[in-house]
Amino acid sequence: MRRIRYQVACSLDGYIAGPQGDISWIPAEPEIDFGALFAEFDTLLMGRKTFAGLSLTDPEYGQLYAGKELVVVSTTLAAVDYPHVTIINELSRHAIEPLRQRPGKDIWLFGGGELFRHLLELDMVDTIELAITPVLLGGGIPFLPAPGPSRRLTLTEQRWYEHSGMVWLSYQIEPAATSAS
Ligand SMILES: NC(=O)c1ccc[n+]([C@@H]2O[C@H](COP(=O)([O-])OP(=O)(O)OC[C@H]3O[C@@H](n4cnc5c(N)ncnc54)[C@H](OP(=O)(O)O)[C@@H]3O)[C@@H](O)[C@H]2O)c1
């Protein structure tokens, strides 16, 4: 089964974007090979607000999205208006399970925090992979908005980057049933 991996850059105080949705604080990190990173996934799953901020035609990053299936969760977007995107209007295990069962690479839960919270409640996220950035934003869009579910995590990987000072932490998420014990 394909894994759903929530991979985001996060401030040290737990925000994925500043109060006005600002992400300019995310540093360029020359040691991270974005081509190789994107090649681990063939599907990008995201909430409507993250989709709204995506620059599919960006000269630097646009080609990284090419060939990926974009799956957007939204109660307000109509599939007919986005023929090149898969729109999920009603989030449920039933809606996500076929994506996971389909053969292919892992699914990148691209953001944001709100969608992550709802998928976590459904036990539909396998890993959290955070690029913790050495900045305090003081407020903004949380990586997991409260009230979120409680889950146990297992640290599976840690890396740090000298240039940016970012720390990369990967965790396996225990499902609700085992998190409670
Ligand atoms: N730091 C990073 O690496 C990173 C990565 C990605 C995004 N971001 C930032 O994160 C921000 C967006 O995150 P966010 O948490 O505010 O929003 P989000 O999760 O991207 O999108 C929220 C929207 O997704 C839809 N949605 C979420 N859960 C749903 C459910 N259970 N059923 C149906 N629709 C659902 C709703 O759309 P409707 O209102 O249409 O129903 C909701 O308003 C942006 O500023 C973006 O730039 C940062």
Q: How confident is the model at residue 178 (pLDDT cuts 50, 70, 90)?
A: confident
d(CA 112, CA 141): 8
- 127: domain CATH number is 3.40.430.10
Ligand 1 site: residues with CB under 6 angstroms? 8-9, 16-17, 21, 23, 26, 46-50, 53, 73-77, 91, 110-115, 118, 141
pLDDT mean across residues, the chain: 94
Mean pLDDT of 97-106: 96
Mean pLDDT of 144-173: 97
| Ligand 1 mutation pick, 29, 50, 93, max ligand atoms within 8 A of CB | 50
Number of domain units in the chain: 1
Q: Which domain holds residue 91?
A: 4-179
Q: How confident is the model at residue 175 (pLDDT cuts 50, 70, 90)?
A: confident
Q: Residue 140 corresponds to which tokens in the numbers above?
A: 């903004």
pLDDT tens digits for 118-157?
999 999 999 999 999 999 999 999 999 999 999 999 999 9
pLDDT number for residue 181 = 59
In this structure, which residue's CA is closest to atom 13 in ligand 1? 112
